Copies of this chain bind each other. A is one copy, B any other.
Amino acid sequence: MSAPRGPYAKTSAKRELILRAALEIYAEAGSRKVSVRDVAKRVGMTDAGVLHHFGNRESLLTAVLQARDTLTREKYGDVLANPASGAAMLADSVSTPGLVKLFLDIAAAAAEPEHPGHDYFAERYERFRHDTAESLARAQPPDGPPPAVDSARAARLLLAAADGLQIQWLLEPEIDMAADLEALHRVLLAALRAS
């Protein structure tokens, strides 16, 4: 939807290269400490060279998260459409606290409508909620009583729990996010069927 900001249009090979390097660096470090210059060094360029492809730092970070999403989708299929496998994805993100931090950083910043990642984030959440709600609704008896929790609300809660658990996990790595999320999924399914 949103037009590209910088003077780029198609994904050049160099762009991919930068993105992969950035993904590695942020996976190791998180976002706040990593400068554009650090990323540039990794690919043997100057900061201006990197920014030529991405416009500015915020756009670069957003692209990194998009790239992560793409990789995840390749690895787990379309997780967003399947709340059950969301647990598997969460368990995987366990190995990259840096990207979890990056995600939280950008999610907070992207609330601003002018932020380059705003549209992407808004659509990503919207799509996830929609797909999850649909999947949950399929488990509902078509002519049952009005459920205690409707599927839209259940979808919001599942997504919220996934995000929130990551915060707790950053501070307390022993937490089993996947198990918690699966339990919530079960509980919500039950609530969807009973009034």
State the main secondary structure of chain A at its contact with B: helix
User: When the two chains form the complex, which single residue of B32, B153, B163 contacts A167, counting CB atoms closer than 8 Å?
Assistant: B163
Q: Which of A5-13, A19-27, A137-145, A185-193 contacts B (4 or more CB under 8 A)?
A: A185-193
Residues of B within 8 A of A86 (CB): none
Determine if A157 and B180 form an interchain contact, defined as CB atoms under 8 angstroms apart. yes
Binding site for B on A (CB under 8 A): 30-32, 97, 100-101, 104-105, 107-112, 118, 121-122, 125-126, 148-149, 153, 156-157, 159-165, 167-168, 170-172, 175, 179-180, 183-184, 186-188, 190-191
Residues of B within 8 A of A183 (CB): 148-149, 153, 157
**Known A32-B109, A148-B183, A161-B161; 19 more pairs at CB < 8 Å:** A30-B108, A97-B111, A100-B108, A104-B107, A105-B108, A108-B167, A110-B171, A111-B170, A122-B171, A125-B172, A153-B179, A153-B180, A156-B175, A157-B161, A160-B162, A160-B164, A160-B168, A164-B164, A190-B191
CB nearest to A123 among chain B residues: B171
Determine if A191 and B187 form an interchain contact, defined as CB atoms under 8 angstroms apart. yes
Instruction: For the complex, give the distance between the alpha carbons of A110 and B160 in Å.
Output: 20
Determine if A160 and B165 form an interchain contact, defined as CB atoms under 8 angstroms apart. yes
Can you list 27 A-B contacts (CB < 8 A)?
A30-B109, A32-B108, A101-B108, A101-B109, A104-B105, A104-B107, A105-B105, A107-B167, A108-B167, A110-B171, A111-B170, A122-B171, A148-B183, A148-B186, A153-B183, A156-B175, A156-B180, A157-B161, A157-B180, A157-B184, A159-B168, A160-B160, A160-B167, A160-B180, A162-B164, A163-B163, A163-B168
